[in-house]
Amino acid sequence: MAKIKDYDKLRQIIEKFSINGLIEDISPINNGIINTTYVATLNDGSKYLLQKINVNIFKEPYRLMKNIENVTDFIKHNDSETRDSLTVIKTKEGAPLYVDKDEFSHKEYYRVYNYITDAISYDKVESCDVAYKAGKAFGHFQKVLRNYPMELLEETIENFHNTQKRYSDFLDSYKKDAVGRKEKAYFEICEIMSRDDVCGIIVDLLNKKKIPYRVTHNDTKVNNVLVDKETKEPVAVIDLDTVMPGSGLYDYGDGIRSAASTALEDEKDLTKVSIDIEKFKSYTDGFLSEMAPYLKNQEVLNMVNSIRIITLELAMRFLTDYLNGDTYFKTEYEDHNLDRARNQIKLVKDIEEKMPEMEEYINSCYKKHKGSSKRKKNS
């Protein structure tokens, strides 16, 4: 097998961690559009995940690791239902990160996780059953962490899901037009601007204390749920980089945005991009089967809004990055971020058409699960 470019360097880095055995292979894997991830295989067949943290985005990697260690420990002690969970493997010195330097003496931060075996993830949901299980997995995650001591949780990326702030950042980028792409994105810019009034809905509810802060995952894409290779039951929720205090509504909405979309985030053929109502129903059913007893009234009332708002937020983030000259998300070609923004705008429009139907389903599904949880309590 041909060795990857930085093989020797990466091997030396992995050897700094508390791992016994000889490394036989290191291969890059596609895992998100922010960090860089590798799978290391040892001579006894065991595997580990090595990740280089993108410090352009995660500016305080130690604070981020503190959140992850605390949350994964809490899950281990409070959740007996899920087969596995992420475990941070420390360095031989007992640190959660190993710090190296690149050729310009910039610090690079590496971490190692256990590799969860016999598990797979989906980039696109293939059936309602998978959507249901993804909803259940993220609902379960929120449920297990509902009593987590919030004061221990750090806000590692300020205003991460503050759609109002995202909107003003978008306006700034538009005004600056740093790389002269404004003209090309004219229609998309107008689509975003015409929806400025919805950006503040969830943020206002949080500020006015009408909805609670919860431990939120903040990146509830379907490929962040690992499911058992055979049974397809959820095994673990992964990618805890953005675990922070926030509104659970963003997690629910983002889950639908990802699990119920008929296309990948960068599909260019917009006729293929829409919300699959059956998958939306399945995800919602799975989510509410876990969380219905714990939701506040205003959370239930705004579930349908959250789907629209988080999708608009991501469209805005892709477009902002396009206008800034692609400084945040990894891109593979010139207009990648513009295509992603177009895709998400198409999804927003489809969501807007389907909102009444979705709202009706959320209400009936909520009643179903709330009712059954009361019956369980009384019986």
Residue 265: which of ligand GN1, Mg ion, none does it interact with, CB under 5 to 8 A by kind? ligand GN1
d(CA 26, CA 88): 19
Long-range contacts of 229-233 (CB under 8 A, 24+ apart): 229/118, 229/119, 229/120, 230/118, 232/129, 232/130, 232/133, 233/83, 233/133
CB of 189 to ligand GN1, least distance (A): 20
**Residue 57 binding ligand GN1, by CB under 6 A:** yes
Quick one: 214 or 340, whose CB is closer to ligand GN1?
340
Place of tokens 């396009």: 322
**Residue 61 binding ligand GN1, by CB under 6 A:** no
Kindly indicate which of the ranges 23-31, 103-111, 177-185, 218-226 contains the residues binding Mg ion, using the contact rule CB under 5 A.
218-226
CB of 54 to ligand GN1, least distance (A): 8
SS3 percent helix, strand, coil of the chain, rounded to 5, is: 50, 15, 35
CB of 211 to ligand GN1, least distance (A): 20
**Residue 254 binding Mg ion, by CB under 5 A:** no
Residue count of the chain, please give it: 379
CB of 62 to ligand GN1, least distance (A): 17
Three-class HEC string of 269-315: CHHHCCECHHHHHHHHHHHHHHHHHHCCHHHHHCHHHHHHHHHHHHH
Quick one: 254 or 299, whose CB is closer to ligand GN1?
254
CB-closest chain residue to Mg ion? 219
**Residue 266 binding ligand GN1, by CB under 6 A:** no
**Strand partners for 23:** 42
User: What is the residue type of 306?
Assistant: S
Residues 216-245 as x/- pattern, contact with ligand GN1 by CB under 6 A: ---x-------------------x--x---
Tell me which residue of 263, 264, 260, 240 sits closest to 252, measured CA to CA. Answer: 260
**Residue 219 binding Mg ion, by CB under 5 A:** yes
d(CA 102, CA 135): 40
Residues 172-211 as x/- pattern, contact with Mg ion by CB under 5 A: ----------------------------------------
Residue 171: which of Mg ion, ligand GN1, none does it interact with, CB under 5 to 8 A by kind? none
Q: Is 345 exposed, middle or buried (0-12, 13-18, 19+ CB in 10 A)?
A: buried
Report 26-55 residues binding ligand GN1 (CB under 6 A).
32-34
Q: Where does this chain bind Mg ion (CB under 5 A)? A: 219, 239
